[in-house]
Every structure is written in structure tokens, then in C-alpha cells.
Amino acid sequence: MADFKAKYGSWAMVAGASEGLGAAFAEALAKRGLNLILIARRLDKLEALARKLKEIYRVEIQVYTLDLSDFVAVKKTHRLHGKAIGLLVYNAAYAPIGYFENISEESLEQIVDVNVKAPLLLSKLVSKQMIDRKKGGIVLMSSLAGTQGSPKIATYAASKAFNSILAEGLWNELKKHDIDVLASCAGAISTPGYKNAQNTKDAPGTLSAKQVAEDTLNALGKGPTTIPGMTNKLAQFFMNRIFPRKWAISIMDKNTKDLS
């Protein structure tokens, strides 16, 4: 755990930290002794989390209420903060559920802004400083939904594919600067967001947010991609290596049809 702080530096930023997996990442990083910059839109949740983590782990925490779709505001906050960010965890996502014909243009733009533009530009901002310091880490939250076409969440899934591929490229480019980059391709996670969307019982292999956060941070520095959980690793193997592409998409169709 102490190694973790030495390797990445003393400040980590979690973008999308107010609940669910983002809050679990914040706790896992505080446990490793890192000070935190927490970003989300809901101040009350961020402040409650910051109070709890400060009390238990005695770390410094700064909270910022920001809409990550507003990149001008994100850039301003990044400058305001002034501290070197050693580790970025981009966790926020916007995932409207519905068939493409029923998703508004505004929603489609919001998916691109929150899930594609913000992680891309934040990675650019933080990696600049990391290159100068010759150390750092970037975690981009992706999803198994992004490993094949996923009906009813088609654009969200495509945005997650973007993050996986970006992370793989950056993993290779930035390793010469001692910067670790990782895409975490999670299966179902028991978070408020997932519970709201899931109308039936949890999907097989559903993990807790705590386990996904721990597995992901433990995988940082060991390769470009991780898939938390054995059931999910197996599912990914069959879906993307064994089954024909059309089967994989049909299986996703069956899995997503009850989402709302």
C-alpha cells in the first residue's frame, strides 16, 4: 500500500466520486494513503464521503462540484487545484437506456461529453504533468458492454470501447515515462446506477463496488486491461474469442432487454 503512494505520488483525482464505484475507488485510494480530489455534481454526497474518509484514513480531501460534460469548467478546476495529480481515475459515465431511435440528440451528445471527451482531455491534462515528473497512473473505467455491440445501450457501449482502446494505446506510449495506464472492463457492479437500471435479479458475476475498485487498483501497472472477477473473465473469453460476433451481440441483446 505504501508502495502505491511512492509510485504514483500523493494526490489522486477521482472523477465521478459521489457514490457507487467512484466512492469505492476514493476509499480504496485513501486506504493506500493518497490525498484525494473528488469530483461529481452532488456536493452533499461528496462532502459526506470526504468527512468519512478523512476521519478513518487521515488523508487530505478536496471536493469539487462539477458537471464533467462542461470541459471548460473541468480545465479551470484542474488549474485551480494547483497540486500535481499522480493518479487519475476516470469513473463517471452517462448511460441512458433505450433503443437508438428513442434516444435524443442531446443525450447522445451528453454520452460523448461525459464518457469520451472528458476522460480523453483529462488524461491529456494530467499526463502532461506526469511526463514531467516521470511517474503517474491513469485508470479509465470501461465495461464488458464495450467489447461487442450492445443493443439498448449501443452508444454507451461504443463510448466504453473508446476508453478501452485509448487506454491500450496510452499504456504503450506512456510506459517509457513510467506512467501506468489501465482500462478496467467491468461486468455488472452492484451500484445505485446499476440497481436503478436492472429490473430483474442481478446478472451472474455481479461484483461489489469495493471488489471492483480493489481488483482494478491491484491490476494497475500489470498490463493495459483488466476484467474484475473470474465469471466476467470467462464470459469475456467466450463472447470475444469463441463465439461468432453475431452470437455475442445476440447474447448482449438478451441481457439488456430488461434494462430500463
Ligand X SMILES: NC(=O)c1ccc[n+]([C@@H]2O[C@H](COP(=O)([O-])OP(=O)(O)OC[C@H]3O[C@@H](n4cnc5c(N)ncnc54)[C@H](OP(=O)(O)O)[C@@H]3O)[C@@H](O)[C@H]2O)c1
Catalytic residues: 156, 160
Which DSSP symbol is given to 239?
I
Residue 155 sits in the site that holds ligand X (CB under 6 A): no
Length of the chain: 260
Task: Find the binder of ligand X among 4, 5, 18, 183 (CB under 6 A).
Answer: 18
Q: What phi and psi, each to the nearest 5 degrees, are found at residue 209?
A: -60, -40
User: Contact, 25 vs 89, CB < 8 A?
Assistant: yes
Residue with cell 480531501: 61
Stretch 220-239: interaction string toward ligand X, x if CB under 6 A: --------------------
Q: Does the footprint of ligand X cover residue 74 (CB under 6 A)?
A: no
Q: CA–CA separation, 146 vs 48, rounded Å?
A: 32
The only residue of 92, 126, 170, 181 in contact with ligand X, by rule CB under 6 A: 92
Alpha carbon distance 240, 69 (integer Å): 31
User: What distance in Å separates the CA atoms of residue 155 and residue 94, rounded to the nearest whole number?
Assistant: 10
Toward ligand X, which CB reaches closer, 40 or 239? 40
- The smaller minimum CB distance to ligand X, of residues 68 and 174, is found at 68
Region 38-67 residues binding ligand X, contact defined as CB under 6 A: 40-42, 45, 66-67
- CB nearer ligand X, residue 127 or residue 232: 232
Q: Can you tell me the distance from the alpha carbon of 127 to that of 110, in angstroms, rounded to the nearest whole number?
A: 24
In contact, 126 and 13? CB cutoff 8 Å:
yes
**Contact between 39 and 78 (Cβ < 8 Å):** no
Residue of the chain from 12, 13, 21, 89 that contacts ligand X (CB under 6 A): 21
Q: In angstroms, what is the C-alpha Rg of the chain?
A: 18
CB nearer ligand X, residue 10 or residue 77: 77
Q: Grid coordinates in use for 199?
A: 429490473
Task: Tell me the C-alpha distance between 36 and 62, whole Å.
Answer: 6
Instruction: Restricting to residues 94-123, name those near ligand X by CB under 6 A.
Output: 94, 114
State the number of binding residues for ligand X (CB under 6 A). 29
Select from 12, 17, 235, 248 the one that contacts ligand X (CB under 6 A): 17
Task: Using the minimum distance from each CB to ligand X, give the nearer residue, 141 or 166.
Answer: 141
189 binds ligand X (CB under 6 A): yes
User: Which part of the chain contacts ligand X (CB under 6 A), choosing from 4-12, 172-180, 183-191, 251-259?
Assistant: 183-191
Query: Among positive and negative, which fits the CA dihedral 36, 40, 44, 45?
Result: negative
**Does 204 sit near ligand X (CB under 6 A)?**
no
Could you list the residues that contact ligand X (CB under 6 A)?
A: 16-22, 40-42, 45, 66-69, 91-94, 114, 141, 143, 186, 188-189, 191-194
